[in-house]
């Protein structure tokens, strides 16, 4: 089930080619995912960070909760999916970032988020390691 805020974000994202009021400072994508148990398709808006010309990373922080978000488990069960970035749809395959890769990306995110967002960024180093999902095979996406 999608909450009302997510529904509004998804609607505006699609109507404005990936731009959402109040979230302009974030790079957003829409993750299409299939329920790990139900198999039902869902769409989740997520912030992403470019990793390379053909890969992005999304953070499964779940706002600091002790459990990963549902979409994380959905990607573990069904890693091949699609994402919408801007007005384009891409076929992708997700994977969990390797420990060293995760450390480097976490350091980069903490730096990029800056002092205003330092506390939430530092949650990346919390006891429950927020998992970075690397989504790749974005042929043609420019960063």
pLDDT higher than 50, residue 139 = no
pLDDT higher than 80, residue 92 = yes
Q: Which residue has the tokens 């995760």?
A: 102
| 3-state DSSP assignment of residue 123 | helix
* Residue 49 burial (C-beta neighbours within 10 Å; 0-12, 13-18, 19+): middle
pLDDT of residue 84: 95
User: Of the candidates 88, 123, 124, which has an alpha carbon nearest to the alpha carbon of residue 106?
Assistant: 124
Please state, rounded to an integer, the average pLDDT across all residues of the chain. 78
User: Of the candidates 63, 55, 46, 32, which has an alpha carbon nearest to the alpha carbon of residue 134?
Assistant: 55
**46-74 per-position pLDDT tens digit:** 988 888 778 888 888 777 777 888 998 89
**75-91 per-position pLDDT tens digit:** 889 988 999 999 999 88
pLDDT of residue 25: 82
Sequence-distant (6+) residues with CB within 8 A of 110 are 118, 121, 122, 124
Q: Which of the four pLDDT bands, split at 50, 70 and 90, describes residue 142? A: very low
Q: Which CATH class name applies to 4-136?
A: mainly beta
Global model pTM greater than 0.85: no
What are the residue ranges spanned by the domains of the chain? 4-136
Q: Which of the four pLDDT bands, split at 50, 70 and 90, describes residue 138? A: very low
């Amino acid at each position: 089930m999608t909450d009302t805020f997510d529904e509004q974000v998804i609607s505006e994202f699609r109507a404005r080619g990936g731009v959402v009021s109040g979230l302009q400072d974030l790079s957003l994508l829409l993750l299409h995912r299939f329920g790990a148990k139900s198999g039902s398709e869902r769409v989740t808006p997520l912030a992403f960070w470019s990793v390379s010309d053909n890969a992005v990373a999304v953070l499964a922080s779940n706002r600091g909760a002790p459990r990963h978000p549902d979409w994380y488990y959905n990607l573990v069960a069904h890693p091949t999916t699609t994402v919408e970035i801007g007005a384009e749809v891409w076929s992708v395959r997700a994977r969990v970032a390797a420990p060293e890769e995760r450390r480097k990306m976490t350091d980069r995110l903490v730096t990029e988020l800056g002092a205003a967002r330092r506390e939430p960024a530092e949650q990346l180093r919390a006891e429950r390691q927020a998992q970075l999902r690397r989504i790749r095979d974005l042929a043609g996406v420019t960063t």
